[in-house]
Amino acid sequence: MDAPLVAGPETVQRAAAARRRRPVWLTGSFVLGLILLFWPLVAALTIGLVVDPRGLRIGAAPVGSAPSALHPFGSDNAGRDLLTLLAVGTPPTYVIGFVAGFLATAFGTIIGLISGYARGATDTVLRGIIDVTLGIPALAVAIIVTALLGSISTGQLALIIAVLIWAFPARQIRSQVLSLREQQYVFISRLSNQGSLSIVFRELLPNLLPFVMASLVASISFAILLAVGLQLLSLGSSDPTLGLVLQLAITGGALSRGMWWWWLPPALVLISIFIGLFLLSTAVDRLANPRLREKADDG
């Protein structure tokens, strides 16, 4: 004769309230990912405020010296102060990654939206462009272009990379739009005389935000990867960057000469950035993948 529920109403309410306070994507791994991704930038910017730019010059420090009080990160084989080099070279990597990532995602999302919703001839054309662009080997083309162009700024490099990678978000968004447009609320919107543009941006896009986020993280990762790859080949911008430092270290024989202070810090920073991006992408994946989200919701 007792009610079938074993838990009392208060327990249920408290559990529900706890769930409401914390958004599903704000998990431990998300926070950790953010930290791992951004601490090098924060550190570099702070140190960059106090560091002496003359440390970048050749001979600013004793050649190939290990870390000391005066030069906490030591110096490279040309006597450049590595702390200054790292502080100055880290932010551009972020700039390239984020600018290229945002540009590629924004452009790709718009193309994906139009292509997926319009269907017909427009879709055929746009999809063709997307497929062709996807087929282009990004690194190979990047190498050729940057080699031909010689010295370019970080901004220009970001643009080149964006042009090479926008097709990935475009394809992702397009396939989501193809299924979303069959939802009945799109039908109701058309019945309500809502224009196509309004439907695409006001009805579909909000529901695509998880996928846009996921694409953004992926694009940023890919952009940084491309940029560092180019820098390791001494291509890309001639401003000091992490990749450049690493490249100099490798060609300068830092490994064989045991000059760990030269190659280890940039490598560690890069590893931290990529692990951070990876953790963010798995956390954001929960937004995009409803089944993962359900597991999180179930107590």
Partner 1 sequence: MTADARTGMHAQGSAGDHTPDDLVLSVENLAVSYGSAAGRRRAVDDLTFGVRRAETYGLVGESGSGKSSTAFAILGLIKPPGRIDEGRIRLEGMDLVGLKPDEWRPIRWRRVSLVPQGAMNALNPVMRVGEQIGDAIEAHDGRQDPAALRERIVGLLDSVGLPDRVVRAYPHELSGGMKQRACIAMAIALEPALIIADEPTSALDVVVQRAVAETLMEVKRNLGASVILIGHDLALQAQLVDRLGVMYRGRLVETGPSRELFHRPQHPYTELLIRSVPSIRGGDDDSLTGAARRARELAAAADELARTGIPPLRLVGPDHLVALP
Partner 2 sequence: MTTDNHAPADPAAPGGIGTPDVPLLELRHVGKSFRAGRGRGVTSVVALEDFSLTLEGSPPRIVALAGESGSGKTTAANLVLGFLTPTHGEVLYRGRPVTQLKGRSGTGFRQEVQAITQDPYSAFNPFYRVGRVFDVVIRNFPIASGPEDARAKVAEAMDFVGLSPERILDAYPHQLSGGERQRVMVARAFLLRPRLIIADEPVSMVDASIRATILELMLRLRNELGVSFLYITHDLSTAYRIADELIILRRGQVVEAGDPRTVIEHPQHPYTRLLMSSIPIPDPDDRWQGRVSDLQAELNEDLEALE
Which single residue is written with the structure tokens 């998990």? 27
Closest CB to partner 2 among residues 13, 151: 13
Residue 191 touching partner 2 (CB under 8 A): yes
Binding mask 10-29 toward partner 1 (x if CB under 8 A, else -) reads -xx--xx-------------
Other residues' Cβ atoms within 10 Å of the Cβ of residue 198: 11
Q: Which does 298 bind (CB under 5 to 8 A by kind): partner 1, partner 2, none?
A: partner 1
Q: 81 by DSSP, 3-state: which?
A: strand
> Which residue type, as a one-letter code, is found at position 135?
G
Residue 2 touching partner 1 (CB under 8 A): yes
Residue 296 touching partner 1 (CB under 8 A): no
Q: Which does 187 bind (CB under 5 to 8 A by kind): partner 2, partner 1, none?
A: partner 2
Tokens of 49: 């405020």
Q: Which does 150 bind (CB under 5 to 8 A by kind): partner 1, partner 2, none?
A: none
Closest CB to partner 2 among residues 22, 190: 190
Q: Rounded to the nearest 10 degrees, what angle do helices 167-180 and 82-118 cross at?
A: 40
Closest CB to partner 1 among residues 5, 49: 5
Residue 3 touching partner 1 (CB under 8 A): yes
Q: In whole angstroms, what is the distance from residue 113 CA to residue 265 CA?
A: 42
Residue 193 touching partner 2 (CB under 8 A): yes
Task: Give yes or no for a contact between 126 and 111, defined as CB atoms under 8 angstroms apart.
Answer: yes
Q: Is 237 left (phi over 0), alpha (psi -120 to 50) or beta?
A: beta
Region of 38-46, 146-154, 202-210, 274-282 interacting with partner 2 (CB under 8 A): 202-210
CA nearest neighbour of 215 among 181, 176, 183, 186: 176
Q: Which does 121 bind (CB under 5 to 8 A by kind): partner 1, partner 2, none?
A: none
Q: Which does 120 bind (CB under 5 to 8 A by kind): partner 2, partner 1, none?
A: none
Size of the site for partner 1 (CB under 8 A): 14
Q: 231 by DSSP, 3-state: which?
A: helix
Residue 190 touching partner 2 (CB under 8 A): yes
Which single residue is written with the structure tokens 């560091």? 51
Tokens of 224: 């940084």
Closest CB to partner 2 among residues 13, 251: 13
Bridge partners of 81, per DSSP, are: 75
Residue 207 touching partner 2 (CB under 8 A): yes
Q: Rounded to the nearest 10 degrees, what angle do helices 260-288 and 82-118 cross at?
A: 20
Residue 7 touching partner 1 (CB under 8 A): yes
Find the binder of partner 2 among 11, 18, 187, 201 (CB under 8 A). Answer: 187
Residue 185 touching partner 2 (CB under 8 A): yes
DSSP 75: B
Of residues 146-185, those binding partner 1 (CB under 8 A)? none
Other residues' Cβ atoms within 10 Å of the Cβ of residue 262: 28
Q: In whole angstroms, what is the distance from residue 182 CA to residue 139 CA?
A: 37
Per the document, the length of the chain is 299
Binding site for partner 1 (CB under 8 A): 1-8, 11-12, 15-16, 298-299
Site residues for partner 2 per CB under 8 A: 183-185, 187-194, 203, 206-207
